[in-house]
Amino acid sequence: MKLPTIAALTLGCASLASAWTHSPTQIIEEIAPGSASCDQGNAECRTAKQAAPFIFKSLRRYNLNCPGQMAAVIALMAFESVDFAYKRNQYPGRPGQGTANMQMAEFNLEYAKSIDDVKDKVANLTSVDGLPDSELNRVLDLVVEDDYNFGSGAWFLSTQCGKEVPQKLSSDIDAGFEDYMACVGVTVDKSRLEYLERAKSAFNLA
Ligand SMILES: *[C@@H]1O[C@H](CO)[C@@H](O)[C@H](O)[C@H]1NC(C)=O
């Protein structure tokens, strides 16, 4: 028997994607309320409407199809990018740190190497150690194009956190989020939890 695509994709998830009722733009805006609009003059900013197609495409690309996985990745990216207002680290303005996930330069190099259309431009680099700021920023510039910028969260979760963390997120989002943040190297504080709670609500997981 041939299962409908959505059902096949979500087998193994604790809850089904069909349980959510909001549009992609509504989901992003609910998780990242500031993304309803962008400040004039901030060229890095993207609204929920602009970001949503790239975000959901990247979740499919990296095979994160369970609502718990999607909610966690979007919550992290929304928090880190200040509701998708920034693609580059603002405070303290660390060279090479960025994307919606606001990941460190070493991960941006690895991410760049994983992208077919970009990897030739970083083929001469094996590590970010000792690179000048200009070179760290050159690598970052390669991955802040929208298609890549909004895919870093899904890439990171699916490649840097082992198999257990994505699995746990699919069945127990609260415990999974603790492990996910440990993998990212941060602790779950009040403001991160607020993003998680909004994400759970947006995906009908709360
Ligand atoms: C690596 O190659 C790029 C061109 O693809 C060049 O702009 C960059 O300066 C090179 N980096 C180093 C450290 O050699």
Give mean pLDDT, residues 45-68: 97
What's the whole-number mean pLDDT along residues 182-186?
98
Q: Is 124 in the pocket of ligand 1 (CB under 6 A)?
A: yes
Mean pLDDT on 159-173? 97
* Domains located in the chain, CATH noted: 20-202 (1.10.530)
| Average pLDDT over every residue of 18-39 | 91
> Percent of the chain at pLDDT above 90?
89
Q: Which whole number is the average pLDDT over 125-147? A: 98
Q: Is 30 in the pocket of ligand 1 (CB under 6 A)?
A: no
Pocket test for ligand 1, best of 113, 124, 142 (most atoms within 8 A of CB): 124
pTM above 0.75, yes or no: yes
Angle between helices 67-80 and 24-31 (to 10 degrees): 50
134 lines ligand 1 (CB under 6 A): no
CB of 135 shorter than 6 A to ligand 1: yes
Alpha helices in 35-172 (DSSP H): 48-61, 67-80, 105-114, 133-143, 146-149, 152-160, 164-171
